[in-house]
């Protein structure tokens, strides 16, 4: 249903003259601090049960975009593999200047995975880390500014020196190529 709705919207924008699109697939939802707290207490493993839906979505999104590319003349897209880069950042944190990839910077409970980082939350108590730039996650479900900096740079220009997270075009290519 989500992919069908997205395809309909893309075709509507295409009919109005849109030709270049940028997308991000879903990240490793099952490894977010808010999901890790749902595993065996203290375990900290990723909640694998949550992986199937996001994986299916990502596969369907890729297929839909390839079909649209064949169907719509002049349609170009950039698909950023958020799922893969989050995995790569988790497995290789030092490459990205990170030291903490499991525990959120702001939150409560195990892995600071309880969504409680201030505001009008049910749980008012929370802890805050000393250096958010060392963390992959800001809170139980959102990345830090440092992580989004890496992601936005890779979306824009790709990364010739390492794994390819974006394709078939980078966002920069969508802006610079006819």
Domain harbouring 104, CATH code: 3.40.50.1110
**What pLDDT sits at residue 160?**
61
| pLDDT per residue as tens, the chain (178 positions) | 999 999 999 999 999 999 999 999 988 777 888 888 777 655 667 777 777 888 899 999 999 999 999 999 999 999 999 988 998 999 999 999 999 999 999 988 888 888 778 766 666 688 899 999 999 999 988 999 999 999 999 999 887 655 578 889 999 999 998 7
Q: What's the predicted TM-score (pTM) here?
A: 0.84
Domain region containing 144? 2-176
CA angle in degrees (0–180, nearest 5) for 59-13-70: 50
**What pLDDT sits at residue 170?**
92
What is the domain count for the chain?
A: 1
Contact 111, 105 (CB under 8 A): no
Contact 33, 112 (CB under 8 A): yes
């Amino acid at each position: 249903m989500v992919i069908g709705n997205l395809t309909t919207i893309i075709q509507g924008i295409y009919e109005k003259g849109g030709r270049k699109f940028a997308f991000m697939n879903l990240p490793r939802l099952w490894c977010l601090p808010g999901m890790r707290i749902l595993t065996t207490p203290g375990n900290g493993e990723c909640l694998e049960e949550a992986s199937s839906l996001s994986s299916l979505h990502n596969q369907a999104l890729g297929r839909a975009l390839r079909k649209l590319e064949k169907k719509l003349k002049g349609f170009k897209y950039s698909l950023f593999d958020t799922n893969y880069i989050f995995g790569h950042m988790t497995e290789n944190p030092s490459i990205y200047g990170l030291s903490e990839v499991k525990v959120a910077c702001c939150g409560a409970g195990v892995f600071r995975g309880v969504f409680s980082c201030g505001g009008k939350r049910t749980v008012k108590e929370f802890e805050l880390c000393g250096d958010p730039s060392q963390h992959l996650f800001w809170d139980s479900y959102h990345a830090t500014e440092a992580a989004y900096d890496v992601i936005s740079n890779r979306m824009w220009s790709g990364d010739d020196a390492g794994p390819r997270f974006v394709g078939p075009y980078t966002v920069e290519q969508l802006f610079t190529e006819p």
